[in-house]
Amino acid sequence: MIGHRIRRALVVVSTPVPDSYTAARAQVVIDGLETAEIEVRVRDLYAEGFDPHLSATERRDHLEAGTAAEIADHATDLLWCDTLVLVYPTWWSAQPAMLKGWFDRVWVCGVAWDLPAGANRLRPRLSNVRRIVVVTTHGSSKIVNSLQGEAGKRTVTRSLRLMCNWRCRTSWWATYSMDRLDDDDRRRELHHLQRRIARLAGPSAARRSLR
């Protein structure tokens, strides 16, 4: 990872099933980062009962700075991290509504962007975020997802990333054809994810993962 060493990672998890494969992948991510002695904050949106609904008041005041008071701590975490890890299953070619609601309500004016008076383009604010990693699953194949346009990937690489540091890098760690994988396949995928996280965390963590 050229020019950037992870120090503070925010892991945002979006799955309604606590014993799901996505939840297992999230735990691999968290364990791997903590093993590498990276400071980690976790936001499990379903577990904490995050409300993804953008209210009429929030929409009306969307050019005002700041988030709704009840979710201000989410904005604090986003402004704190240098690496954002999103863990979720892909549904209908994109992020679950819960995670999309997190984007809508947390990535707001005064947090992720500003719109100066008279300007017609957003000004990015998340210069602290230098890496975005997506850990997701798809029921269908890579070819099918490509034909569908990969809407979820575009949201991250063409929208979220533009609000971050101009050198922000994105990593798309997707497991495809989940509907065809058996238990052994899934265990291999988890091990592969563990190694990826170790490499992301740095050389020392990667060496530990090989022991």
Nearest to 168 by CA among 52, 91, 40, 81: 81
Q: Pick the closest to residue 76 from 10, 160, 168, 5 (CA basis).
A: 10
Both tokens of residue 117?
């008076």
Nearest-angstrom CA–CA distance, 157 and 134 = 10
Confidence of residue 203 (pLDDT cuts 50, 70, 90): low
pLDDT of residue 210: 45
pLDDT tens-place string over residues 38-66:
999 999 999 999 999 999 999 999 888 88
Q: Where are the domains of the chain?
A: 8-206
167/206 Cα distance (integer angstroms): 24
pLDDT in tens, 4-33: 789 999 999 999 999 999 999 999 999 999
What is the reported pLDDT for 207? 47
Task: Read off the pLDDT of residues 173-193 as tens digits, 9 standing for 90 and up.
Answer: 999 988 888 999 999 999 999
- Tens digit of each residue's pLDDT (9 = 90 or more) over 58-96: 999 988 888 999 999 999 999 999 999 999 999 999 999
Under a CB-based contact definition with an 8 Å cutoff, are residues 115 and 63 in contact?
yes
* Domain 8-206 class in CATH: alpha beta
pLDDT digits (tens, 9 = 90+) for 96-146: 999 999 999 999 999 999 998 888 899 999 999 999 999 999 878 888 877
**pLDDT score of 2:** 44
pLDDT bin (cut points 50, 70, 90) of residue 158 is: very high
More confident residue, 203 or 143: 143
pTM of model > 0.85 = yes
